[in-house]
Amino acid sequence: MSNAHLPPELVREAALNHRLMLDHPERRVVTVSESRWGELILPAPDERPPHGAAGLRIVLFASFEFGYMVLEAVRAYAREFSDRVQLVGLVTDDPVNPTAHIGLKKRVWRYMDRDEILGIETAVADRALKEGMPAYTGEIKIVGFHELLASWRPDAIISCVFGQVIDASIINRPAYGIYNFHPSDLAHGFGAGPGPAEDLITRHATSTVWTVHQVTEGVDAGPIVAVSPPINVLDQSGTLPTNPLVLYDKLLEPVGCLAVCLVDALAKRFAAGTPGKLDTLDVETAIPADVRVRMQEPIRADRHINTLPRFEPATLAPFR
């Protein structure tokens, strides 16, 4: 379908589509049956994965800066180890569209202005498309999306900051499981749901962790696979910042390391021909010493950093 002939229900996607088509006019926008918002965006013909059709097939459910970092990390791993994994699809939030049912008033998007929201959504989708991955921004609890996901044939799904509740038909599809990254201490009952930063502020916490867990139909309720080392969330005066975006900037430190560790473990399981979910994940060796030091340092920023995070390729060294 030509981007110049969008149906009326996609008018609200115009700003995103304009940005995504600027340098790649041959990208295509497709409606997905029954979805009340969003769309499927297909890469241009010259946007093809730099790897062959081999290895674990991964679909990402990701948005916001955390999700962008996971995408960057998994992308780097796929490029470095082209025989181990394939990135076959991205599903992302559509916070620019006010009709999207992703909890805009309850989640991180409410702290950001429209320009930054549009910039992040564009960056996530654009990065996926450049890797030859189709990007979907619509509704997931519909037959149309279930059929799309079936066509992607994922072996595993990785989620990080995704605003829709994932249903059983999706959870049960990948043979190697579906995993979520959540920035709170779920093992001790803290921070489940859309406001982990608010939980830290309410509890006057001094540190927090990332939890990697299997996905179930309960929100942030699946079995825990791994917990990161503690992250200091106090500033240089020993105070917990009240701006959630400042807290989230600090929590970015270990995200790429954790994502690569998870993908590597799943890839090894796939290569061994052993399907089934990961029950545990050893993240100790995946986090370099310099990252651990930064995790323990106080927060130095007094305002939100609105530049996109960068994945450090040296993080891949332990997995070579």
- Does residue 3 carry a pLDDT above 50? no
pLDDT for res 104: 62
Cβ atoms within 10 A of the Cβ of 15, count? 15
Whether residue 5 has pLDDT greater than 90: no
Average pLDDT, stretch 115-141?
95
Alpha-carbon distance 13 to 90, whole Å?
17
Predicted pLDDT at 134? 97
- DSSP state letters, the chain: --GGG--GGGGGGHHHHHHHHSS-TT-EEE--TT-SS--EEEPPTT---SS-S-SEEEEEEE-HHHHHHHHHHHHHHHHHTTTTEEEEEEE---TTSTT--S-TTTSGGGGS-HHHHHHHHHHHHHHHHHTT--EE-S-SSSHHHHHHHHHH--SEEEEES--SPPPHHHHTS-TT-EEEEESS-GGGT---SS-HHHHHHHHT-SEE--EEEE--SSTT-SPEEEEPPPEE--BTTS---S-HHHHHHHHTTTHHHHHHHHHHHHHHHHHTT--S--S----GGGS-HHHHHHHHSPB--SS---SPP---GGGGGGG-
CB 194 within 8 A of CB 106: yes
Question: Mean pLDDT of all residues in the chain?
Answer: 92
The CATH number that applies at residue 257 is 3.40.50.170
Rounded Cα gap, residues 254 and 273, in angstroms? 29
- Rounded to a whole number, what is the distance in angstroms from the first to the last CA of the chain? 42
Q: With bands split at pLDDT 50, 70 and 90, how would you rate the model's confidence at 96? A: confident
Number of independent structural domains in the chain: 1
Q: Hey, what amino acid is at 162?
A: F
Phi/psi at 125 (nearest 5 deg)? -65, -40
**pTM summary value:** 0.94
* Predicted local distance difference test score (pLDDT) of residue 12: 63
Taking residues 132-154, report their average pLDDT: 97
pLDDT digits (tens, 9 = 90+) for 21-69: 998 999 999 999 999 999 999 999 999 765 557 899 999 999 999 999 9
Asked whether the predicted pLDDT for residue 142 surpasses 60, the reply is: yes
CA 241 to chain centre: 24
Structural domain harbouring 72: 3-319
Per-residue confidence at 105, pLDDT binned at 50, 70, 90? Answer: low
The answer to whether 183 touches 248, Cβ cutoff 8 Å, is yes
What gap in Å lies between CA 212 and CA 180, rounded to an integer? 6
* Each residue's pLDDT tens digit, 260-280: 999 999 999 999 999 899 999
Q: Which residues pair with 42 in a beta bridge?
A: 28
Phi, then psi, of 40 in degrees rounded to 5: -105, 125
Q: Helix axis angle, 244-251 relative to 64-80, nearest 10°?
A: 20
